[in-house]
Structure 1
Amino acid sequence: MKIYIKNMACESCKVVVKEALEELDLHPLKIELGEADIKEEISIEKKRELNSILQKVGLELIESKGGILIEKIKNHCQEYINSDKAEKINLSDYLAEKIDLDYNYLSNAFSEVTSNTIINYTNLLKMEKAKEMILFEEYNFSEIATKLHFSSLSAFSTQFKKITGFSPTHFKNLKEKRRKAIQELNKDIKEKKQ
């Protein structure tokens, strides 16, 4: 039996779902972002118990077809952002291929349920990923733009500023200022000990 779970975003969510299922003596066959295949049928009572466990960590079972579709779209948007494919593929083509439905249908359904567009949602995800990449200093701005499927560094910078209110450089400099402040704090602590 397949069950659908809202708000799964990373590998640790899969672990949490697996542990919750096993706690209820359910046997997961496969767990992916947004869904889990379990060996047995699940009773209404066990569904309630499972949902209660999941809600404690910000996850939730999804029952409606519309909710399941929206979660699939969100999970595939996340996959799209995290993919390291060198080839450039359009998000709309990617989603239509993965979900096997027309992109216009997906877009309309997503907007209707979330009051947001797929593009805007994906750009928000991209900016969170970009901030993480800047903070960890793994890549330069051009590499970040490429990894996040932007057509150019300029397009990335424009979107970054639109969403965060800062240019990528300013955001990076804010991190540097915070680092200096911590270093100065450590220096003050050492001086007080002497």
Structure 2
Amino acid sequence: MLELLIAAKNVESPAPTPSLPHNHNYWQLDIITQGRACLYIGRKKIIIPEGGAVLIRPFVAHHYVFKNPFVSSTVKFTSSSFFITAQQFIKLKFKTEELLIIENFFREYHNNKIGRRIAALYLEILILKNRSMSLLLNNAGPESRMQAAAEYIHQNRDSELGDAFLAEKFGYTPNHFIAGFKKNFGVTPARYIRMLKIEKAKEMLYHSDHRIKEIASALGFSDIYSFSKSFKTATGQAPNEFRDFFY
């Protein structure tokens, strides 16, 4: 499930001073509509020309250097295929038909709640049409034990998966497994599992009429209070507020 957080069209860059390095728990798509932008991913310098774009994975440290003015459009969103790739970002150049999808996306985004749901569908279509984006959000990257571990967690997210169990299964000591997983994916295994559970909760709140207590139990939370706290920490909304937003 894809959830839109914020979208802004044709925003002018601020004064010519660098932004501070930061990261966040959502995907960020930046499209440069005028000028060119200078982006750092860690220490790697990336120049994005006019008409270009970049998609940044969650929990990847980045910042812009505003030496020259530019105008950009930004979309921030979450996805249930959160961290299953070690690739930190991709540069993009959209085709004419993809640019039309982006125009339709922004037109719908600024309508009512139904419009935002339609906008989310446009973004999903854009991702499906653009192979590079689709690969990044759907298990791209070289095969490795860490990649296999992330895929195993994703496929068994409803099971009890402790660090010791996962480390033994994939041939690591617990400390090495936690450190290696965080190095590859930007989060610890425990945090990754929690985020997957929250994404599953969003799907259940949106697509079913199960009571919140039933959803909490199905996802392995000890009680509705711990579930509600985890959900609000991750999304900024209580579970009932999230459900009420759509209905």
Q: Which amino acid aligns with 1:143?
A: E
Moved more, 109-118 or 95-104: 95-104
Q: How many pairs are equivalent? A: 116
1:174 matched to 2:236: no
RMSD: 2.6
Give the superposition deviation at 1:143.
2.0
**Superposition TM-score, scaled by structure 2 size:** 0.41
Q: Which amino acid aligns with 2:207?
A: F
- Partners of 1:175 and 1:57 lie apart in 2 by 26
Matched, 1:71 2:147: yes
104 and 149 in structure 1: CA distance in 2 versus 1, 3 angstrom threshold: farther
Contact 1:70 1:110 in 2 (8 A): yes
**Cα contact 1:80–1:91 (8 A) shared by 2:** no
Q: Distance in 1 between matches of 2:149 and 2:183?
A: 13
Gaps of 5+ in 2: 1-80, 82-130
Say which SS state the counterpart of residue 157 (structure 2) adopts: helix
Greater helix share, structure number? 1
- With 74-83 and 118-127 compared, the bigger mean Cα shift is at 74-83
In structure 2, the residue matched to 1:99 is 170
- How much has 1:100 moved relative to structure 2? 4.2
Q: Deviations over 1:63-92 (max 9, x none)?
A: 5xxxx1221221122123244xxxxx3532
The answer for the alignment partner of 2:156 in structure 1 is 80
Larger gyration radius, structure 1 or structure 2? 1
2:195 is aligned, of 124, 130, 140, to 124
Aligned residues of 1:81 and 1:149 also touching (Cα < 8 A): no
Work out the CA distance in 2 between the residues paired with 1:139 and 1:104.
38
What is the SS of the residue equivalent to 2:222?
Answer: coil
Picking from 142, 145, 160, the partner of 1:62 is 142
- 1:173 deviates by 0.9
Decide which structure has greater strand share.
2
Query: What does residue range 28-43 of structure 1 map to in structure 2 within 5 Å?
Result: none
Q: Which runs of 5+ in 1 are unaligned?
A: 1-8, 10-53, 84-88, 177-194
- Please, which moves more after superposition, 141-150 or 153-162? 141-150
Contact 1:76 1:95 in 2 (8 A): no
